[in-house]
């Protein structure tokens, strides 16, 4: 993803638009797209400033409201798989994907083994 345009450029484009020049001409003058000039003018009108929105950061986990139930279910049934947990959540009416459950489980510091433990030879 590219960087945001400078605040100086944004301010100059919006100032030119506010002085009566069309958005198309202001965009051409500063070599930005017309859509960009329109969005900046709208942002100035709506918020009073032209600063860019915040970028980056982490989104909250979508399964956080169901944390207690999920952890309780994992404690109840220790051999539960991620796919099994997804199907149980769907039965409860919770929209959950495999990736969402996997992210939640990892954020809680838990792991699911991919294969069941196999019988190993004893010591000789």
Q: What does the pLDDT look like over 34-47, one tens digit per residue? A: 999 999 999 999 99
Q: What are the structural domain ranges in the chain?
A: 7-47, 64-107
* Token pair 């100086």: residue: 8
Q: DSSP letter at 22?
A: -
Could you tell me the pLDDT band of residue 3, with boundaries at 50, 70 and 90? confident
Predicted confidence (pLDDT) per residue in 46-104, tens digit: 999 999 888 877 777 888 888 899 889 888 887 788 898 999 999 999 888 898 888 88
Mean per-residue pLDDT, 28-38: 96
* Token pair 């345009």: residue: 5
Residues sharing a CB contact under 8 Å with residue 81, sequence separation 6 or more, in sequence order? 112
Q: Is pLDDT of 110 > 90? A: no
């Amino acid at each position: 993803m590219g960087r945001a345009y400078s605040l100086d450029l944004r301010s100059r484009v919006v100032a030119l638009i506010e002085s009566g020049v069309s958005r198309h001409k202001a965009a051409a003058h500063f070599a930005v797209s017309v859509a960009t000039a329109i969005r900046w003018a709208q942002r100035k009108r709506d918020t009073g400033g032209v600063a860019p929105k915040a970028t980056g950061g982490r989104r909250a986990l979508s399964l956080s409201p169901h944390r207690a139930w999920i952890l309780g279910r994992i404690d109840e049934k220790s051999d539960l798989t991620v796919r099994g947990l997804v199907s149980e959540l769907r039965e409860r009416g919770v929209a959950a994907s495999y990736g969402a459950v996997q992210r939640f489980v990892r954020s809680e510091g838990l792991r699911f083994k991919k294969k069941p433990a196999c019988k190993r030879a004893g010591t000789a």
